[in-house]
Structure 1
Amino acid sequence: MTKFKDDPETTQQGIYIENGSGGFLSDLYFVGGKFGAYMGNQQFTASGLYFEEAETAIQIHWDWGWTMQNIVVDNCKTGLTIVGGAGGPMSTGQGIGSLHLTDLRFHYVNVAVSTSVMSDNSTALLLSNSGFYNVDTIVQDTFKNQVLIRGGKGTVNVDTWGFGRVTSANGTAAFHNGVNLDSPVRNDSLVTGGRKQFFTRRRPKYDDLGFSQILDAKADGAKGDGTTDDTAVLNHLLSAAANMSAIVYVPFGVYIITDTVEIPVGLRVIGQAWPQIMATSSRSADALKPRVAVRVGLPGQVGVIEVQNMMVTVKGATAGAIMMEWNVHESSQGSAGLWDTHFRVGGAAGTDLTAKDCPKLSGKVNPNCVAASLMLYLTPDSSGYFKNVWMWTADHDFDTADQIQVDIYLSGAENVVIGLIQTETPYFQSSLQAPAPFKPGVFPNDPEFHNCTKTSKSCAMAWALCIIDSSAVHSCLNSGRNDCQDKIFYTEQSYDVWVQNLVTLGSIEMASPLNGVPTLGKPNRNGFASSILAWLGGSKNITGQRNFEGYRIHSELTIGIEEFSEACQNALTALVRCDNVTSECRSAAYHGILPIEVDVDSICDKDCAEAISDWLSAVDTYCGDSKWENGAAAGVMGSFISYGINETCQTDKKTGKYCNDVILGFSNSGSLESMANSELCSDCYVGRLKMMQASPFSYYRKEPYYQNALKAAVSRCPLSNQPRSAKDSPFPSETTEDAICLSDVKYVTQSGDTCDSLALKYSVSSAAIFIGNPDILDCNNIDPGVSICLPLQCSTYKLETDDTCMSVAIATGLQPDTIRLLNPWIHELCCNIQTATETLGRVICTTTPGGKYEHDVNSTNSDPAYSEYADKSVLPPKGATIAQGTTEYCGRWYTVQKGDDCARVLVQHHISLLLFTSANPSVSQDTCSSDLIPGQTYCVGPTKDAFVDRTPIPPYWRYGCYARQQDTGNHSVLIFDEVNHVKPMSIVACQSYCLSYSWYVFGLQNGDSCLCDSRLRMDSRLVDDSKCNIHCNGNTTNLCGGSDAVQVFSDESLLRVEHTSLGCFIQNDSKHVLDGETIDEKDMSVEKCASICTINKKSDFFSLSEGSICTCGQKVATWAKKTDAGECNVKCIDQMGDTCGGKGRAEVHTTKTKNAIAT
């Protein structure tokens, strides 16, 4: 376009948008013109726009809401002109409703923002995190010809400034007529640059790749014809491309999939004109059994995934389809993302979900028209960058005239920034009230709509934005468009939530925090819509604070939960918004009077009963007939809790008092016979007995007293046809043969027994007690009178509340692997060593279970005749064929006969399964009997020498006392692992632990803490040995560092040191880049030079040149000149593959962060 300075009369415009329902503009360059862009729209997002030498860069003549981010304006007369505004108070005109400008950079502009401001409701304008260089006026009120923010020479920064109505943290609203406002602290993961602009990334172009790195989906077998099943072809292609680090190009077409398509980490996908991945299958038709159509990465994966210009759709009845499940977490900022990728449900030919197939407002649910339970599901631990992503549930066909819908639910989310969110309520509501036609509970924090009355037709309608248990959520604009509903934006138990430029249409409440003050739409009417500049209800306080913190009946660590479907697991692990005291009602008990400190009204709150009812309903819906390993229904624990609440909260019909208080006031009769009829036959007492008899989750079945009480009531009270038989246990009895008790020792439980108390008393593992005795339902509350089998004896250790595998290893002298071998329930990474104790108790084995059993329990059975271990080794029988891998340290041998099974061998030879499989590695615990080979000889009595670790502990070298530089942010000189407050601690104990994880550098601090790493970290400084003067608590002859210093050791004679390269420099024989000592050795390497200079020479810099020359120094010469890194290309002589400078070139490194920054 013609530049304004060349023709002031130019009328050219770069983009003209008069109307519409947009939309997204990004990464565009405008030069010249009267207007770079002249725009009006219902809503729009613009990012990465650059304007140069126009009269006016942007002019907006109407909108409901607009977000502009990262806009650059150079040498324009006016940066942004806002025409008209929305009008005065309560105006219903079609002007500018809401505008958010953030991360702007304006240079050499007369007026940055030209607008008008009314004294009450008007355009809501927010300007944040923006810089203006040589701008005369930043904001000018054209109505009053008044400068609101002055510019000036140089840079003027605006943090957060605006005008419009603001709802404060306490729910009150007021008009702010051009003032500075509070602003959120932007998390580092969300920003870039020194001014902390929100991170943006243009969609990747891949213009530097060869054709060999691009795979064409159709050329490789996919049809994309809308009829052929492309599932297998796409999965094979995507997997192969990820292994090759190739790009998959998907030509235009419709690719039918009938099962999950996997997009692996490391893959890049480019579509041509939005090719459709269309999910259709009977597998996806059941809303109660959700099935993923496109899965991106696997849970817990970290890496790169880039998808652009694709569309995900469904065909026909697919009520269970999760259109995309996103599991991957970015390995670097923006490395995992979607660009210009959209989701569409219905509304197009070939979907079987058009207006003809599914007419709206028909008054009934057509099961063939229920499609997609969820469009995009970001799973826990995932992260992503999503740019111009449109999620549309069709309210019309593309070929008919009507209107976009996205509802966003943030559950347990952190560090989220969302630009313009534009949503619409489904047009079939309230003909169907939410959540119909779906049932809640399959996804975390599904909405329930309990606060809606049955007569209201405008309450149970879709939330546009729902934020629950989340933090650091920044929304630049939320535009909720709908037709007359009560509420649209909901928050619960969240904080650091900043919603700016909130716009709603037709909703009575704009923001509805749980238990908080709602923000109403009518007082904030602003043009055609209602808008406020900012909603700060959760900015500095918890918004939507619950009456109860809540608890989870199960977690992902619950033993056996992985056997259930994913939907069932989500239901089982859902939060129960109830008083935490109720979580203790997980087994049959009499729920009588509670301790005085317990608030009964809190337990009996209607929301509490509603919450457990919702949990049970969701589990029943999504778990169906699924059962735990012991045969109990999936929701059994919730049923116990629900019954416990009902019994506790039973009230007297006449007085309204709690029945527990009424029964407490009864006379102290010694027996049922002497109990007065007025008490026995009272509503509370009879009601309690009837309630207990009717439920399998009560104490009635286990306690004869209550059975006799009901018998007495039937005979003495006016009760007719009252059943008295107890309900069957919710835990079905198995009709299997009695299990073998390897110890041959039985015990009858007594009142007060726990798994831990029995384990400590009889030297056994608490987990073995629980796992080996299915009649024990709760390790902390064992029913008396139950006959149990005590496991084989072992030396024990009771876990403290802060124990880790490392602290246990140091305390017991065992390797972590050995601890896990002796206690197989401990996960490989030891992550469950504390969480599992709630179920399994805290007493673990530190020796192999077995040996002579000393006890005084009520059993007539004898002890095992001898220990599992033999005293000394003997040769195997002559001619015996020894099983593969069997230990030679064995005192008793047995040759397996035909017909032998594992149980017979173990019982005959008094050896535990764990010890037997340890001595005979060819036999596994899971398939012991089938692994036994008749005719082969196995060890059934190993000596203790069989399990002695014969790996000698290597020597170690001490390298001194180290602390961090005071001006650095890191807190330790070794960072890979750390365990604190361990007893006993010694140098060898710390070395052994670190060595077990292949860490060769270790350090000690404060006498009781061990640190591990692969090298000494940057910014470590050597301090005087007097700073490391605290003796080890496990060996007082050792020194274990100081309170603020670490005693550093290594298993290698060379201490590896962290360093960073400053680049390749020019030098010659007479002039060295560094000023210190030079060492020339044939086996020189980067690691060796770093260690010599840092440890021996105490230098902050080191350089390598000529392949073998190492130079140490304290500063880089002022004349030093950097050259291309490729000129430092001479390999080090040590043949490790590193480069050691070049000919006449020196590569300089430093071990101090401040030097790297300065350079």
Structure 2
Amino acid sequence: MQNIVVDNCNTGLTIVGGAGGPMSTGQGIGSLHLTDLRFHYVKVAVSTSVMSDNSTALLLSNSGFYNVDTIVQDTFKSQVLLRGGKGTVNVDTWGFGRVTSANGTTAFHNGANLDSPVRNDSLVTGGRRQFFTRRRPKYDDLGFSQILDAKAYGAKGDGKTDDTAVLKHLFSAAANMSAIVYVPFGVYIITDTVEIPVGSRVIGQAWPQIMATGTKFADPLKPRVAVRVGLPGQVGVVEIQNMMMTVKGATAGAIMMEWNVHESGQGSAGLWDTHFRVGGAAGTDLTVKDCPKLSGKVNPNCVAASLMLHLTTDSSGYFENVWMWTADHDFDTADQTQVDIYVGRGMLIESKGPTWLWGTSVEHCVLYQYQLSGAQNVVMGLIQTETPYFQSFPEAPAPFKPGAFLNDPEFHNCTKTSKSCAMAWALRIIDSSAVHVLSAGLYSFFNRYDQTCLNSGRHDCQDKIFYTEQSYDVWVQNLVTLGSIQMVSPLNGVPTLGKPNRNGFASSILAWLGGSKNITGQRNFAGYRIHTENALDIDRFPEACQNALTALVRCDNHTEEWTLPSYHGILPRDVDIESVCDEGCARSISDWRSAVDTYCGNATWHNGAAAGVLGSFVSQGINETCQTDKKTGKYCNDIIYNFTLSESIDKMPTNELCSDCYVGRLKMMQASPFSYYNRDLFYEDALKKAVKRCSLSNVPTTPKDSPFPFEPSEPRFCLSGVTYTTKAGDTCDSLALKYSVSSAAIFIGNPDILDCADMVEGVSICMPLQCKTYKLQEKDTCMSVAYFAGIQQDDIRLLNPWIHELCGNLQSATIVLGRVICTTPPGGEYDREVNTTNSDPAYSEYADKAIPPPSGATLATNTTKACGRWYKVEKGDDCARVLVQYHISLPLFIQSNPSVSEGSCTTDLVPGRTYCVGPTKEVLTQTLKPIPPYTRFGCFAREADTTNRSVLTLADAQHVKPMSIVACQSFCLQRGWDVWGIQNGDSCFCDNQLRMDSQIIDDSKCNMHCNGNTTNVCGGKDAIEVFGDQDMLRIQYESLGCYSWSKQAIRGTTGGDTIESPDEMSVDACASLCTVTKKSDFFAVWEGKLCTCGREMTPGAKTTSMEECNVACSGQLGDNCGGKGVAEIFTTKNKNVIAS
């Protein structure tokens, strides 16, 4: 009872014969829940009797009593159980009866306060926070013009005529007009989905039936909605009352109603006095004549629906007085003869709420009556269920197959001999929260139409009836069950038994608190989904197939990585093999595959692979990983891991080769298209040799076809147009030198090459574009390579992008990528059998000869005239379009047009100016003319707010002629300074480091040629071009101290502000990298190998003791680079030192 107000009386409510005594018939009221009540000026609010610990379970919740003398009184003993008083007495939750606590134990509470739920705002109304209710709308203030009569509109409702088209048009038109649809009594046949749009108001006369029938609803593997209320994601008003949803004949795929609409205001989307009935009535073709009971087999014509009502994820709804009945008898016959009719599921609630179910019932569905899956904010006020009378024949889930809908039950734990296990669940709550069950009667009266299970007093018609899994904030109050051994069965939890809680005919408990403040039914694994609802291309599949594909796999998360073919050997140390090989995991992935096979059929992904291909890879991984030795029971991976180390299969000891584990693994892999067997000839060769040496017979060795169907396609595109078939002894280096290409480009561009140093013979590979090459020597650095190749150090990384920013992997990466690198841009015509690194390939981005600029053209500043192709920039042009259109690389474009820089190419383009887009090779020789080794670090200037205008201060030679890079270099090196810079085209400055307050500026500011060598750029006005004879530019900096790194203490750069260098990190290296590359004012070193750049301190950064910055730098002996969880922070600007 809910939301009742009692005023001015002696006794408000009397529970008659609660536990014997006056007026008792021996069958007391088992359970009564009173919530949201208000009593005013009453002597006794509730009168009852308590004679034993299993008498009426009485619960008061969220109720107020104003000037009530006694709230609850035991009239049999004349004992006050709960006192009232003057003024208002509020009762949160109080009762007497048996209560199951969070740990699963049940005890009698003889009048006590209980834990109270916190009601979500969306579910309540008023200052008393009572659960929201709304009576059905009356529409008594409307005119006739606002009502559309279905029959007047053209619908027949005669149980014969197809009214699908008329109803579709009627509901759409009425919603657009905000009119009410009046449906006179009748039977309205539909043969396809009818949509009731948002904005609809529908009222029936004496429960007119919308009856789904026909072939579109016949396939249980392709469930189809009969009546769809709103579309997914829609918000608004829908009001439906006094209607009935039915089906006719074999409609095994029918979803009787799908509810998508979400309320726009509290309770604006609702269903009142509307019922779902399947069979048991004349005209349904599901009568006793069609579907007699105990026929000994399932009649497919009596499989009548997949699901009655589906509340989808984004929906909400108010449902009052809704009865959902699969007929157990034919009520159009005089003797009400029983029938066997099959409906898969009752009510599936995925709604995130708010959802209210007031006075609802679901009866006789095969898998479950109510299921909450991922639901939230649901009130279930007085629900009632019945298990199908014919079960457990057939055993659930028959005649349906699980997997078409979220979290379908599987009934795996049932033994073949049990007759009371594989039976429908009354209520399942999975992955849900904020659920309020206010009085529930869950009944099982029969077992295969036999009531001995009840009449004997055993009450064992079925084993379990109410299931919970991975849910919390679940409040179950006043639960009554009948005929079930267990009242509540949490996954991996303690069940609440029916026998100790028998209360007269049924079993009842006042409250079940197993999921109120704890997770109930906690899974062994959180689980994962192989595909998500938003997965690319998943919409190509039918909805039931999508549900199967996105089902939760209850496995160790490590197995989620196994969606690609691989060999599954020993697991990482942090992965527990017992967890991976959990029995439930293998069963879960098997269920996933079975559901996908069932509901996806032959459907494929865009690449032709079967729908379940990724899950099959996971399953194969579990099978291989969890393989055990038949004799010892040990995991085979552990046994194989300890085999004798052998150079080849031929040298492998026979007892190991022929062992159960090794041969079993090879046979397992050969038998599956989802193993690595069909991807690596090694395993086929190993099995063939095992067959021979181990004298095995009838063992197939041929690999299974790939699960990805072969599709004839055009030959793999090869940009150079040159292919090569590998021979014995080939390596990436040998081919790179022979064909004047990069060894790394050979490896990266040909995925069939697995080992650069040991190529498989007979593999066709594509040769990359040619370039001038250099073979790395063991002690080479980027600096030495730049010297010998006659190029800038930065160009090495541009031409070979796999080289890290600090060049720290130059040598280590050669193990995988080989030693031959490019020193010129790849491209041009192919020159066969080149065997010298001195070759000079033709580059298509170069012009054969120079031509004059177009007549009247104005060249961009400093653009070369050694050019054979010109382009006049137009307004709106961008660099990318120009480069693509004229097939020229960005570095060459910049070399040809010095007014353009890499970071601002598009903005540097001046409309109306003409640029070179096809230089001759003269540009290359001018720009890359070999000179003594040095590194260019960029264009620098002093910060504007500092007085010193030079970034290098120890020596200078100003206004000198002739001036060049080499001249300045010689001048500074002779004086012992290894950093030099040139300004204004004629002035040289020397130092051993870049001074504080220097900042790197755009290269365009260094735009003056040296007066002694016009091919050299020698700084600009107040801008210094800085060089050095080392790989790294030393920077002057100051330490700001040691800081906690739980939150980064500096911030503000882009493009990746943290660099890791396990072998090369030092404070100087970090300073150089952050200043030159990241243009940052701050840098931090931490954990010995990490460098982070930043442009400002993070507000609230916390200092710590310098003693904590005690981890040695990985590339600088004697210095520390921060510590564990702490970083030493430095700055290159004096203003930051002063501020600190």
TM norm structure 2? 0.62
Alignment of 1:264 onto 2:197: yes
| 3-state SS, counterpart of residue 350 of structure 1 | coil
The 1-side partners of 2:910 and 2:136 are apart by: 58
Alignment of 1:514-529 (within 5 A): 514-529=491-506
Question: Residue 696 of structure 1 aligns with which residue?
Answer: 673
Deviation for aligned residue 1:166: 0.5
Question: Residue 166 of structure 2 aligns with which residue?
Answer: 233
- The structure 2 residue matched to 1:563, chosen from 527, 533, 540, is 540
Does the 8 Å contact 2:249/2:286 carry over to 1? Answer: yes
The 2-side partners of 1:303 and 1:345 are apart by: 30
Does the 8 Å contact 1:425/1:481 carry over to 2? Answer: yes
Residue type of the partner of 1:154?
A: G
Question: Residue 51 of structure 2 aligns with which residue?
Answer: 118
Question: Residue 967 of structure 2 aligns with which residue?
Answer: none
Does the 8 Å contact 1:92/1:526 carry over to 2? Answer: no
Alignment of 1:413-452 (within 5 A): 413-452=375-414
Alignment of 1:382 onto 2:315: yes
Deviation for aligned residue 1:746: 11
The 1-side partners of 2:516 and 2:764 are apart by: 55
Deviation for aligned residue 1:125: 0.6
Residue type of the partner of 1:118?
A: M
Question: Residue 679 of structure 1 aligns with which residue?
Answer: 656
The 2-side partners of 1:789 and 1:354 are apart by: 75
The 2-side partners of 1:677 and 1:391 are apart by: 67
- The structure 1 residue matched to 2:269, chosen from 326, 333, 336, is 336
Question: Residue 168 of structure 1 aligns with which residue?
Answer: 101
Residue type of the partner of 2:64?
A: G
- The structure 2 residue matched to 1:357, chosen from 290, 297, 302, is 290
Deviation for aligned residue 1:401: 3.7
Residue type of the partner of 1:618?
A: A
Deviation for aligned residue 1:478: 1.5
Question: Residue 634 of structure 2 aligns with which residue?
Answer: 657
Question: Residue 606 of structure 2 aligns with which residue?
Answer: 629
Deviation for aligned residue 1:662: 1.1
Question: Residue 531 of structure 1 aligns with which residue?
Answer: 508
Shift in alpha-carbon separation, 1:860–1:486, aligned structure 2, 3 A: farther
| 3-state SS, counterpart of residue 365 of structure 1 | coil
Shift in alpha-carbon separation, 1:98–1:774, aligned structure 2, 3 A: farther
Alignment of 1:1053-1072 (within 5 A): none
Does the 8 Å contact 1:524/1:531 carry over to 2? Answer: yes
Alignment of 1:252 onto 2:185: yes
Deviation for aligned residue 1:860: 9.2
Alignment of 1:585 onto 2:518: no
Shift in alpha-carbon separation, 1:786–1:591, aligned structure 2, 3 A: farther
The 2-side partners of 1:700 and 1:376 are apart by: 47
- The structure 2 residue matched to 1:135, chosen from 65, 68, 71, is 68
Q: Could you list the per-position Cα deviations for residues 307-327 of structure 1 after superposition, in whole angstroms to 9, with x for gaps in the alignment? A: 111111100001100000111
Residue type of the partner of 1:473?
A: V
Q: Could you list the per-position Cα deviations for residues 994-1015 of structure 1 after superposition, in whole angstroms to 9, with x for gaps in the alignment? A: xxxxxxxxxxxxxxxxxxxxxx
Bigger mean CA offset, 738-747 vs 392-401: 738-747
Alignment of 1:17-28 (within 5 A): none
Shift in alpha-carbon separation, 1:75–1:859, aligned structure 2, 3 A: farther
Alignment of 1:46-125 (within 5 A): 68-87=1-20, 93-125=26-58
The 2-side partners of 1:377 and 1:254 are apart by: 23
| 3-state SS, counterpart of residue 485 of structure 1 | coil
The 1-side partners of 2:284 and 2:311 are apart by: 25
The 1-side partners of 2:389 and 2:165 are apart by: 37
Deviation for aligned residue 1:944: 6.2
Deviation for aligned residue 1:873: 14
Gaps (5+ residues) in structure 1? 1-67, 752-761, 763-769, 777-782, 792-852, 876-886, 895-905, 913-942, 950-979, 987-1032, 1044-1159
Question: Residue 436 of structure 2 aligns with which residue?
Answer: 474
Question: Residue 477 of structure 2 aligns with which residue?
Answer: 500
Higher-Rg structure is 2
Shift in alpha-carbon separation, 1:643–1:215, aligned structure 2, 3 A: same
Question: Residue 715 of structure 1 aligns with which residue?
Answer: 692
Question: Residue 843 of structure 1 aligns with which residue?
Answer: none
Question: Residue 211 of structure 1 aligns with which residue?
Answer: 144
CA RMSD for the aligned pairs? Answer: 4.1
The 1-side partners of 2:906 and 2:724 are apart by: 29
The 2-side partners of 1:340 and 1:788 are apart by: 73
Deviation for aligned residue 1:209: 2.6
Residue type of the partner of 1:723?
A: P
Residue type of the partner of 2:411?
A: F
Deviation for aligned residue 1:888: 8.8
| 3-state SS, counterpart of residue 464 of structure 1 | strand
| 3-state SS, counterpart of residue 379 of structure 2 | strand
Question: Residue 395 of structure 1 aligns with which residue?
Answer: 328
Residue type of the partner of 2:128?
A: R
The 1-side partners of 2:463 and 2:398 are apart by: 17
The 2-side partners of 1:645 and 1:96 are apart by: 53
| 3-state SS, counterpart of residue 76 of structure 1 | strand
Q: Could you list the per-position Cα deviations for residues 72-99 of structure 1 after superposition, in whole angstroms to 9, with x for gaps in the alignment? A: 11222211100112459xx994221111
Percentage of identical aligned residues? 76
Deviation for aligned residue 1:531: 0.4
Alignment of 1:306 onto 2:239: yes
Does the 8 Å contact 2:828/2:842 carry over to 1? Answer: no
Q: Could you list the per-position Cα deviations for residues 739-787 of structure 1 after superposition, in whole angstroms to 9, with x for gaps in the alignment? A: 7689999999999xxxxxxxxxx9xxxxxxx9x99999xxxxxx99997
Does the 8 Å contact 2:28/2:55 carry over to 1? Answer: no
Does the 8 Å contact 1:487/1:509 carry over to 2? Answer: yes
Deviation for aligned residue 1:442: 0.4
Deviation for aligned residue 1:204: 1.4
The alignment of Structure 1 onto Structure 2 pairs a total of residues equal to 757
Does the 8 Å contact 1:87/1:527 carry over to 2? Answer: no
| 3-state SS, counterpart of residue 579 of structure 2 | helix
Residue type of the partner of 2:659?
A: S
Q: Could you list the per-position Cα deviations for residues 849-877 of structure 1 after superposition, in whole angstroms to 9, with x for gaps in the alignment? A: xxxx966999999999569xxxx9999xx
Shift in alpha-carbon separation, 1:592–1:119, aligned structure 2, 3 A: same
Does the 8 Å contact 2:12/2:46 carry over to 1? Answer: yes
The 1-side partners of 2:9 and 2:569 are apart by: 78
Gaps (5+ residues) in structure 2? 339-360, 364-368, 447-460, 732-741, 743-747, 754-759, 770-823, 833-840, 847-852, 857-873, 890-904, 912-1047, 1055-1092, 1102-1140
Q: Could you list the per-position Cα deviations for residues 108-142 of structure 1 after superposition, in whole angstroms to 9, with x for gaps in the alignment? A: 22211000012411111111101111222111101
The 2-side partners of 1:620 and 1:526 are apart by: 47
Shift in alpha-carbon separation, 1:720–1:383, aligned structure 2, 3 A: same
The 2-side partners of 1:422 and 1:687 are apart by: 53
Alignment of 1:728-767 (within 5 A): 728-738=705-715
| 3-state SS, counterpart of residue 473 of structure 1 | strand
Deviation for aligned residue 1:703: 1.4
Deviation for aligned residue 1:239: 1.2
| 3-state SS, counterpart of residue 133 of structure 2 | coil
TM norm structure 1? 0.61
The 2-side partners of 1:596 and 1:87 are apart by: 65
Residue type of the partner of 2:279?
A: G
Question: Residue 963 of structure 1 aligns with which residue?
Answer: none
Shift in alpha-carbon separation, 1:860–1:272, aligned structure 2, 3 A: farther
The 2-side partners of 1:368 and 1:874 are apart by: 88
Alignment of 1:513 onto 2:495: no
Q: Could you list the per-position Cα deviations for residues 264-283 of structure 1 after superposition, in whole angstroms to 9, with x for gaps in the alignment? A: 11111111111111000111
The 1-side partners of 2:391 and 2:679 are apart by: 50
| 3-state SS, counterpart of residue 667 of structure 2 | helix
Alignment of 1:846-995 (within 5 A): 865=844
The 1-side partners of 2:165 and 2:230 are apart by: 17
Question: Residue 201 of structure 1 aligns with which residue?
Answer: 134
Shift in alpha-carbon separation, 1:234–1:854, aligned structure 2, 3 A: farther
The 1-side partners of 2:30 and 2:535 are apart by: 51
